[in-house]
Structure 1
Amino acid sequence: MLRSVIFCSLFIFIRFFDFQSIEASEPDTIYSNTIKSVLFTRSGNLLSYPVIDLNNGEKATLQFDLLNEQEKTFYYILVHCNMYWERDSLQPIEYIDGFEVNRIKNQSASILSILPYIHYTLPIPNDDIRLKISGNYLLCIYEDEEKTKPVMQKRLFVCETKSEIQATARRATLPVYADTKQEIDAEVTLYERKVNDPENELRLLIIQNFRPDMYVEVKPKFIRGNIISYNHEEGNLFNGGNEFRHFNSKNLRVPLENIDLIDYQAPYYHFLLKPESDRTFTGYTYGQDINGKYYIDADLRNSPALMADYVYVHFTLPYDVPLIDGTVHILGAMSNWKCNEKNQMTYDFETKAYIGSMLLKQGYYNYHFALRDKLTGAIDTGFFEGNSYQTENDYVLLLYERVSGALYDRLIGRAVVNTIKPL
């Protein structure tokens, strides 16, 4: 039997939201506890990022579940933002074709699941809304057409390909960083014209594993005609981290990877993971992962999106003493890369371990343990995971153009580079 079972009450957290002052630091937010399994990817690839091309027909697809037996009607809008996710001065008619507010039309009830849910799917663009310009778009979901009951907001990147980005991810050049950090170098070729003032008009953002708080903004090192180099030894460095921990909950009967015990306590299945360990000083060990992401899967179910069950997953991190300067969290795409009460662990003095539980849909999941500083709110995965230059990571590169006097930031280049394998 499980020593501790955490049952999460399901309620909707409603907050009035003024989109005249979008939180630049929190572009990805889920406001409701009854909204689960939110995936926003390039259409056709569940492990991709929501970065699409403006002109070649690419789409992004939002999927999520409402934990409820009855359908609800949800509405959505797109808000155009600058590169820092602050709303710009454009009106909807300037960046979209179609109505400003639209209804999500594709939803289906779960089939034979213990916990009933409604599965929603929304492609962008679609027949109701088309995108006219490049840049950052905030996809905002509401319970009402008047936009007073926000449900979530998710980032969408729309690129007009005006450049080519050649990038490499490798061990940091400077010896002081060589063991723990990774260096991302890039060379940009502009297709159409020279930029008069590239240091002020171009901004290159590099994001590690698409985690919203893990990015750097890089300035050019030198310019040669229409070729711009971002080859630095500092300023483009990231902590390497460690390979993600993982578990597989697709089978309700047979424990798979890193599952110690499956226990049914009506009406839920409970998956007790094998106790993990602090990896700060254990050195690097390679293990294949999907860089913090997850995907839904269920054995013997031909439609996991509608037939997978929700189960409680229980995590254990042995630790000799409780930490007083921070809180411990389970971090990954499954937690929306946030550290909050939903994924916070508690210290159990009897077992001398941090324990935590999350209600998750069956599938394959990656995660890290993270320490959140009580004073600053800073999130540190290295505290439990360590940092190594050898770790396999994705890096998303986004090139923005900010011309003086322009009304919005254009996204004119994109690339994804991996430290080990070509993408």
Structure 2
Amino acid sequence: MSTFFSKIVLLITAISFSSVTFAQAEKEITPPFNIKTISFIQNDQNIIPFLKLGEGFQLEFDDLYGNEANYYYEIIHCDYNWVPTPIPKNEYLEGFDNQRIQDYTNSFNTLQIYSHYKLAIPNQFTQQLKISGNYMIKVLDENKEVVFSRKFILYEDLVTVPLQIKRARTVQSNDAKHNLDFSIKSSSITFQNPIKNVKVLILQNAQFKTALKNIKPQYTIGNDLIYKYDIETQFWAGNEFLFFENKDIRSASNNVARIDSSTPIYGTFLHTNAARANFPYTFTQDANGAFVTKNINTIKSEIEADYAWVYFNLSAPTFRMNKNVYVTGMFNNYALTPEYQMEYNPKNGRYEKAILMKQGFANFQYTIANDTGIIDQENSIDGNFYQTENEYTILVYYKESIDRYERVVGKGVASSLNIIN
């Protein structure tokens, strides 16, 4: 009897261990073609979804079918590596999720019909997110299948992160990379075993795909953690984002060559962009990838802004790599999918792509990646210049030995506009 019991215990232990070992990291699910303009909104402005614990926000999106479909939402708390944490949902969420999104409105006076959905957090069902950390929000259809998902991060204000952007110390990349020197300071936390318990996430222009992870403090001075690496905290500097405006969808404006109104949905043809890698750096004011929905002839752009086919055109005659070229920005969450992959036109020797976008202002860039989604920043079509203005964000994760999850205890932000040698 004891032998049988022992086998049962071993079996249960093995099952439990395997469930932990093989827990899958959550990945952002790209929406289908009919779901557009997914945005995190705060104070009526598009934001990067790094929010202070306790702050409210809205998740908004459009459904081009315009049939007032039923959508639901689910919120999952994750660890540093985006693996769902084992803590019960009622410990990180006050109230309930898996509720229907009830705030939606149909478009008004637009050629492209759509239903605009708005999910406010907190709301009557989800009163509060109680702890900091990585979160994944999933939008589900009426069959509870995931339509799309997006990451967001809640942080506490318990540490400061003095951050300085410098030119790379390595001679071969001195003109093309940024290096980050920073430290982590706190008067309210005494760090226990910081080499193991403190982690950082370093992002350039809030892009998860190129973020730096798992970098340990180089050394400590008292309770201050110091990061002064030569290579580990380097980023390719890239170039300034390109942009266009079609706030008045019937007339050509900034970087728009012409408008085609002969089709059921307007066409916005952009001026041809020339690859900039082999040209000297030229400063252009950008918004580090952001976009704004706007129709200057209406009051409520969220439902009165129209959609247009935007025609991107890239001349890159020296590009000979066996890799793909994508149009990316915050407007599509930097997605590397066929919907945004450019096609080479041998007749004019250019890369072209038509993308259905909501009118307004948009930053964008041309991204090179292979078929598995690995981005090639070193051989960027628009080059890498240390003069480029980028915004860098550092999020600090801390987990004491007795904690069951990693808290995000602070955030640091700096711009390379103030770069030093």
Q: Is residue 385 of structure 2 the alignment partner of residue 388 of structure 1?
A: yes
Give me the whole-angstrom Cα distance separating, in 1, the residues matched to 2:337 and 2:102.
Answer: 31
> What is the aligned counterpart of 2:352 among 352, 355, 374?
355
> What's the offset of the Cα at 1:308?
0.6
Bigger CA radius of gyration: 2
Give me the whole-angstrom Cα distance separating, in 2, the residues matched to 1:297 and 1:193.
Answer: 44
Paired residue for 2:167? 171
Paired residue for 2:12? none
Paired residue for 1:50? 49
Q: Deviations over 1:179-215 (max 9, x none)?
A: 0001122121123232121011000111111111111
Counterparts of residues 101-140 of structure 1 (less than 5 Å)? 101-129=98-126, 130-140=128-138
> What is the aligned counterpart of 2:299 among 298, 302, 315?
302
Q: Is residue 292 of structure 2 the alignment partner of residue 288 of structure 1?
A: no
> What is the aligned counterpart of 1:413 among 410, 413, 417?
410
> What's the offset of the Cα at 1:29?
2.4
Contact 1:322/1:347 (<8 A) preserved: no
Give me the whole-angstrom Cα distance separating, in 2, the residues matched to 1:249 and 1:150.
Answer: 32
TM-score (norm 1): 0.89
Contact 1:212/1:337 (<8 A) preserved: no
Contact 1:398/1:415 (<8 A) preserved: yes
Paired residue for 2:153? 157
Contact 1:31/1:150 (<8 A) preserved: no
> What's the offset of the Cα at 1:322?
7.7
> What's the offset of the Cα at 1:421?
6.4
State the one-letter code of the partner of 2:360.
Answer: G
Paired residue for 1:314? 311
Q: Is residue 375 of structure 2 the alignment partner of residue 379 of structure 1?
A: yes
Paired residue for 1:188? 184
Relative to structure 1, the CA distance from residue 65 to residue 47 in structure 2 (aligned partners, 3 Å threshold; closer, same or farther) is closer
Relative to structure 1, the CA distance from residue 253 to residue 189 in structure 2 (aligned partners, 3 Å threshold; closer, same or farther) is same
Cα RMSD (Å) of the superposition?
Answer: 1.9
Q: Deviations over 1:75-134 (max 9, x none)?
A: 111101001111111221121110131221211111101011111111223332111111
Paired residue for 1:16? none
Identify the structure with the greater helix proportion: 2
Gaps of 5+ in 1: 1-19
Contact 2:292/2:361 (<8 A) preserved: yes
State the one-letter code of the partner of 1:165.
Answer: V
> What is the aligned counterpart of 1:59 among 49, 53, 56?
56
Give me the whole-angstrom Cα distance separating, in 2, the residues matched to 1:275 and 1:346.
Answer: 14
Contact 1:92/1:100 (<8 A) preserved: no
Q: Deviations over 1:305-360 (max 9, x none)?
A: 11011000001112448846112211112222121110011111111111111000
> What's the offset of the Cα at 1:21?
5.1
> What is the aligned counterpart of 1:279 among 262, 271, 276?
276
> What is the aligned counterpart of 1:141 among 136, 139, 147?
139
Contact 1:244/1:368 (<8 A) preserved: yes
Give me the whole-angstrom Cα distance separating, in 1, the residues matched to 2:132 and 2:299.
Answer: 37
Q: Deviations over 1:22-43 (max 9, x none)?
A: 544x3x32332110001124x1
Give me the whole-angstrom Cα distance separating, in 2, the residues matched to 1:111 and 1:22.
Answer: 42
> What's the offset of the Cα at 1:392?
0.6
Q: Is residue 262 of structure 2 the alignment partner of residue 262 of structure 1?
A: no
Q: Is residue 341 of structure 2 the alignment partner of residue 338 of structure 1?
A: no
Give me the whole-angstrom Cα distance separating, in 2, the residues matched to 1:354 and 1:317.
Answer: 5
Give me the whole-angstrom Cα distance separating, in 1, the residues matched to 2:201 and 2:329.
Answer: 21
Contact 1:75/1:104 (<8 A) preserved: yes
Give me the whole-angstrom Cα distance separating, in 2, the residues matched to 1:317 and 1:159.
Answer: 39
TM-score (norm 2): 0.89
Relative to structure 1, the CA distance from residue 142 to residue 296 in structure 2 (aligned partners, 3 Å threshold; closer, same or farther) is same
Give me the whole-angstrom Cα distance separating, in 2, the residues matched to 1:45 and 1:180.
Answer: 36
Paired residue for 2:224? 227
Contact 2:97/2:125 (<8 A) preserved: no
> What's the offset of the Cα at 1:232?
2.0
Give me the whole-angstrom Cα distance separating, in 2, the residues matched to 1:321 and 1:419.
Answer: 29
Give me the whole-angstrom Cα distance separating, in 1, the residues matched to 2:135 and 2:191.
Answer: 25
State the one-letter code of the partner of 1:52.
Answer: L
SS at match of 2:381: helix
Count of equivalent residues: 395
Give me the whole-angstrom Cα distance separating, in 2, the residues matched to 1:415 and 1:61.
Answer: 23
State the one-letter code of the partner of 1:155.
Answer: K
> What's the offset of the Cα at 1:48?
2.7
> What's the offset of the Cα at 1:47?
4.4
SS at match of 1:137: strand
Give me the whole-angstrom Cα distance separating, in 2, the residues matched to 1:317 and 1:266.
Answer: 23
State the one-letter code of the partner of 1:135.
Answer: G
Give me the whole-angstrom Cα distance separating, in 2, the residues matched to 1:370 and 1:180.
Answer: 16
Give me the whole-angstrom Cα distance separating, in 2, the residues matched to 1:321 and 1:238.
Answer: 24
Give me the whole-angstrom Cα distance separating, in 1, the residues matched to 2:248 and 2:195.
Answer: 53
Give me the whole-angstrom Cα distance separating, in 1, the residues matched to 2:134 and 2:282.
Answer: 37
Q: Deviations over 1:337-396 (max 9, x none)?
A: 12111001111111111111100000111111122223x531235420100111011111
